[in-house]
Every structure is written in C-alpha cells, then in structure tokens.
Amino acid sequence: MKRSEALRSLSREHHQALTIAQELRRADDPERAAARFHEFWGRAGALHFRIEEEVLLPTWELLGTVNAEAASRLAKEHLELRAAALALGEEPPLAAVRELGEKLVAHVRFEERELFSLIEADLGAAELELLARAVAEAEGSQ
C-alpha cells in the first residue's frame, strides 16, 4: 500500500517493529529476545510512540476530524505494549516474550490497515503536507 508522505516514515518504522516482533514470537532465548526488544525500544520505539501520541493524533484533530475510537485504541495499545515491555524484567518468561511479539504485530497491523487509512481518507493534500512537516520536525528533534 502506498502511504502518503505524512505517514511514510512512521510506516517504515513499523517494518522495524515487525522484525523485532517476529524475533519475539519465535524466540528460544527469552533474555536475548528481550534485550533485542529493549535495544529497539531505546533506539526507535519509544520516540515512535511519542510522535504518534504527541504529534500525529493532535495534528489530525487540529486539521481534520479525528476518529475517537481509533485514537482511543492507539492509546490503549501503546499503554499495554509499554506495560508488557516493563513486565519482561531481567529473566523474562518465554511466554511473556512471545506474547509481546503477538501484541506488537497486532498493533502495527491496526495502525497500517486502519488508523493510517482513516487519517489519509480524512485529510486533504494540504493537511497531509502539514502533518508530514510536523512528523518530520518531531523526528528531527529527538
């Protein structure tokens, strides 16, 4: 699916998240898999979540008509993923590692298949351009 420029960088980051999620889902060594997840989280995941929560959704609300159900689902899933990541601890159970992978895959699919489609359908070209600039600025100010 071709993404608008406004969502392209976030979509590329989803590919990285899916790679990590696949590692989690197939893990045999839970400590190694958890370490890879935390490395991903520190490098890209946490910022990605913040941009979606602090830039993407508010800008959508400002420029269009945010879908409250989708916004609520995004926030709920972000909270669940953060909690699951924190719960891994130093010696995570294999089941918890694999469950985090499943949750991450489901979340990325929701964003790619539903949330981003809603945003692109709601905003016109000029609004998507403004959103693209806001996302790019947030990504650059890390």
pLDDT in tens, 66-106: 999 999 999 999 999 999 988 888 789 999 999 999 999 99
**What is the SS3 string spanning 112-135?**
HHHHHHHHHHHCCHHHHHHHHHHH
pLDDT for residue 1:
62
pLDDT digits (tens, 9 = 90+) for 33-73: 999 999 999 999 999 999 999 999 999 999 999 999 999 99
* d(C-alpha 120, C-alpha 67), whole Å: 12
* d(C-alpha 133, C-alpha 15), whole Å: 21
Q: What is the pTM of this model?
A: 0.92
- Residue 2 is classified by DSSP as P
141: confidence class by pLDDT, cuts 50, 70, 90: low
108: confidence class by pLDDT, cuts 50, 70, 90: very high
| CATH level 3 topology of 5-140 | Four Helix Bundle (Hemerythrin (Met), subunit A) (1.20.120)
